[in-house]
A and B are shown apart, each in its own frame.
Chain A
Amino acid sequence: MNLPFVYAPALGAVSLTVPGDCAPRAASARLAHLAKEDPVPQEEPWEVLLARANEGDGPAFARFLLAVTPTLRAVIRRRGVGLPPDQHEDVLQEVLLAIHLKRQTWRRGSPVRPWLYAVARYKVVDAFRRRGAFVTLPIEDFAEVLPEEAAAAPLSDRDAETMLGLIDARSARLVRAVALDGKTAAEAGKAVGMTAGAARVALHRAMRQLTVLAERMMK
Chain B
Amino acid sequence: MSDRQSTDDLIRALAAAPAPAPFNPVVPAGAMFGLAAGGLAAFLVVFGLRPDLGAAWQDLGVQAKSLLPAVLCALALWLVLRASRPGTGLTLWPLALPLGAVLAMALLRLAGAEGALRAEVLGQTALACLTSITALSLVPLVAGILLLRRAASTRPVLTGALAGVAVSAGVASGYALHCTEDSPLFFGTWYGLAIGMVALVGAWLGHRFLRW
Instruction: Spell out A's residues near B (CB within 8 Å).
Output: 23, 26-27, 30-31, 34, 53-56, 58-59, 61-62, 65-66, 69, 86-87, 89-90, 92-93, 96-98, 100-107, 114-119, 121-122, 126, 138-139, 165-169, 171, 205, 209, 219
Using known A-B contacts A54-B22, A105-B84, A118-B87, determine if residue A61 contacts B4 with beta carbons closer than 8 Å: no
Please tell me if B183 contacts chain A, counting CB pairs below 8 Å: no
Q: How many A-B residue pairs have CB under 8 A?
A: 121
Q: Are A98 and B17 in contact (CB under 8 A)?
A: no
19 of the cross-chain contacts (CB-CB < 8 Å) are: A26-B4, A27-B7, A31-B8, A53-B15, A54-B22, A55-B19, A65-B14, A86-B1, A93-B2, A96-B14, A97-B14, A100-B14, A100-B17, A117-B87, A119-B154, A126-B211, A166-B14, A167-B6, A209-B6
Q: Are A54 and B8 in contact (CB under 8 A)?
A: no
Using known A-B contacts A96-B14, A205-B2, determine if residue A101 contacts B20 with beta carbons closer than 8 Å: yes
Partner of A209, one of B2, B5, B87: B2
CA distance A62 to B10 in the complex (A): 10
Q: Are B2 and A30 in contact (CB under 8 A)?
A: no
For B11, the closest partner residue in chain A by CB is A65
Query: Within 8 Å CB of A118, what residues of B?
Result: 86-87, 154
Task: Determine chain A's interface SS by DSSP, over half rule.
Answer: helix
CA distance A26 to B8 in the complex (A): 10
Q: Are A23 and B4 in contact (CB under 8 A)?
A: yes
Q: Are A114 and B10 in contact (CB under 8 A)?
A: no
Closest CB-CB distance, A136 to chain B, in whole Å?
A: 9
Query: Within 8 Å CB of B211, what residues of A?
Result: 126
Instruction: Spell out B's residues near A (CB within 8 Å).
Output: 1-23, 84-88, 149, 151-152, 154, 211-212
Q: Are B86 and A115 in contact (CB under 8 A)?
A: yes
Query: Within 8 Å CB of A59, what residues of B?
Result: 15
Closest CB-CB distance, B74 to chain A, in whole Å?
A: 21
Query: Within 8 Å CB of B21, what residues of A?
Result: 104
Query: Within 8 Å CB of A105, what residues of B?
Result: 23, 84-86, 151-152
Closest CB-CB distance, B80 to chain A, in whole Å?
A: 13
Using known A-B contacts A56-B19, A93-B6, A219-B149, determine if residue A166 contacts B13 with beta carbons closer than 8 Å: yes
Query: Within 8 Å CB of B13, what residues of A?
Result: 165-166
Q: Are A58 and B15 in contact (CB under 8 A)?
A: yes
Closest CB-CB distance, B148 to chain A, in whole Å?
A: 11
